[in-house]
Amino acid sequence: MKQKNILLTALVAIAVISFSSCKLEEAKPATEVVFGSAEIQLILEANLDRTNDTTEYGSPSVTNEKVEGVMVIATVNRWNFYSDTSGNYENEVVTGVTDANGSVTLSVPVGQRDNIRYDLSMAEKLVNVRYSTNVDDTLIIKTQELILFYGDTYFEASKEAKEIRRIQMSLK
């Protein structure tokens, strides 16, 4: 009986030592592959001055003005930058604000795929819109506050691309 207890204790000790020396193999992160960046220049425009919506010959024509101070947000899932696309990856978010010329340049990372799709959105902004009206045959210029907005869309970025895109913002 004593030999069985010693043998059992020895087996338990060996099992404990062997299990404690074994480690779970940790998952190795996928290799990140970033080829560089692409510069996307966006120019935001909207019809903010409806008093100048005619051609030089007096025909109706919409004239858009540049929009300043709009936050532009480009989002892409980081799986685009890895060789192994399985698993959960965080989003890469790049933001910028339009300048006085309505322009914003976003420097977005580009991964191993040739064309990476970036979801593009713009923060809404309250703007003053000029318009004209006739009151008793007198032309009066008025302003009205409207919300400038743009629905979600996307663009694709290629390696080392330099693109310019004009985006017409809507008013509501």
For 152, the token pair is 């979600």
Domain boundaries, the chain: 31-171
Q: For the segment 90-140, what is each residue's pLDDT rounded down to a tens digit?
A: 888 999 999 999 999 988 877 656 667 788 888 888 888 888 888 888 888
Residues 6+ apart with CB under 8 A from 73: 93, 94, 95, 120, 121, 122, 123
What whole-number distance in Å separates Cα of residue 134 and Cα of residue 72? 37
Q: For the segment 44-57, what is each residue's pLDDT rounded down to a tens digit?
A: 888 888 887 777 78
When mean pLDDT is compared across 30-34, 138-142, 155-159, the lowest value belongs to: 30-34
**Burial annotation 122-148 (CB, 10 A radius, 16+ → b, else e):** beebebebeeeeeeeeeeeeeeeebeb
pLDDT value of position 10: 54
CATH, domain 31-171, list 3.30.160, 3.30.1370, 3.40.50, 2.60.40: 2.60.40
Calculate mean pLDDT across residues 135-150. Answer: 85
